[in-house]
Amino acid sequence: MSGKVSYRKVTSLIIKEKIFSTRMLLMFPILLLFIPGMAWGFSDPSIILPGGHRPETPMEVLFYSSLGIVFGGTMCAVLMAFDGVSKERASGVLEVKLAQPMSRLSQTLALVHGTSVAVIIPVTILLLISVFIIRYRMGAWPELMDIIIHIIATGLILTWYTLFTLIASSKAREQGTAMAFGVGIWFFFTFLWALVTSMVALASGIAIGQDNDSSWIALEGALDLFSPNGVYHHILETRLSGVQRGVSGWQIWLMTIAWTVLPLWILAKRMEDLVP
């Protein structure tokens, strides 16, 4: 069996195991509530958001619904990956795997691929259901490119959180630490990043939260490049008209590559040096 076939087989076994796990069964109602639930809510013709915003196009609804991905999808990725390495390391199964003639890099890539795809599949299905909900509620489809970009961006953010958590799992000797690290990162980027942005704004003498202040918008846009959630929203915003946050397209794609390659490189390096 060639290396590619082995890689595909190992990846598909991981996907199968994770997707039918009890954890996914528990997460699925939450994802259901967060993703199609938000699409249902934001596509309500009479909804008025705080600040007087009103989603008018299907893509805007998809954009607002992405909050469900940021809250629910990424948490699902953390929960699926937190024991990806630590559990097998503690039980000795990792040593059995590392003794097989499949390179550690291939094993690492299969783990990342399998774990992230196990989250991406249900999330994508729910996203597509959201598209139908939007059509039903608003009477219009989002553009095909909107849907494609949304799915790609969602796949990326879920992969990033999977990577962060797997790095934590490879560092931690026991699962509690891996879990705390994964949830900590999720909490930091999901809730505390606004605090970081505010602190930087305060230190720079920029008024905080002024939506009409171009300096605040530019600062927030720039700082968002250093957060996976921020980059995710930057990618989605490329499909929205009238959004100007002072960030160029090349900067967004550069940071997208950085957020993908750097954690992957760290994890691969870590797994290469790992003593079971």
Partner 1 sequence: MAEVVLQLVGASCRHYISAPTLTKPWKKIRGPGIPKIDLALYRGTILGLVGPNGAGKTTLLRMLAGVLPLQKGTAVFTSLKGDQTIERELSTSVELRKVIGHMPEQVRWQGKKSVHDAITEIAAMRGSSEHRILGLIKLVGLNSRIDSPLDELSQGMRQRLTLATALLGSPDILLLDEPFNGLDPVAAQAFTQLLQQLSEKGVSIVISSHQVSGLIGIIDRIALLHRGQLLIEGEIKSVEKDLELSDRFDLTGTSQPPSSKLVKKLGMELLKSETDQNSWQMQLKGNPDGVLKKLISEGIEVESWQPHAPDLVEMLCSSTGLRVEDVGLEITSSAFLPLINRGVEEE
Number of residues that bind partner 1 (CB under 8 A): 25
Looking at beta carbons only, is 18 or 239 nearer to partner 1?
A: 18
Contact 58, 141 (CB under 8 A): yes
To partner 1, the closest distance from the beta carbon of 57 in angstroms equals 45
Looking at beta carbons only, is 144 or 275 nearer to partner 1?
A: 275
**Segment contacting partner 1 by CB under 8 A, of 38-46, 97-105, 149-157, 235-243:** 97-105
Give the amino acid at 86.
Answer: S
**Segment contacting partner 1 by CB under 8 A, of 36-44, 72-80, 102-110, 146-154:** 102-110
Looking at beta carbons only, is 22 or 46 nearer to partner 1?
A: 22
State the Cα–Cα distance between residues 15 and 169, nearest whole angstrom.
Answer: 18
Query: In the stretch 3-42, what mask flags binding to partner 1 with x, by CB under 8 A?
Result: --xx--xx--x---x----x--------------------
Contact 38, 67 (CB under 8 A): yes
Q: Is 32 left (phi over 0), alpha (psi -120 to 50) or beta?
A: alpha
Contact 72, 35 (CB under 8 A): yes
Over the range 174-210, which residues count as b (16 or more CB within 10 Å of their CB) and which as e?
ebeebbebbbebbeebbeebeeebbeebeeeebeeee
Q: Which of 45, 50, 51, 92 binds partner 1 (CB under 8 A)?
A: 92
DSSP annotation of 70: I
Q: With binding defined as CB under 8 A, does residue 203 bind partner 1?
A: no
Enumerate binding residues for partner 1 (CB under 8 A): 1-2, 5-6, 9-10, 13, 17, 22, 90-93, 95-103, 107, 275-276
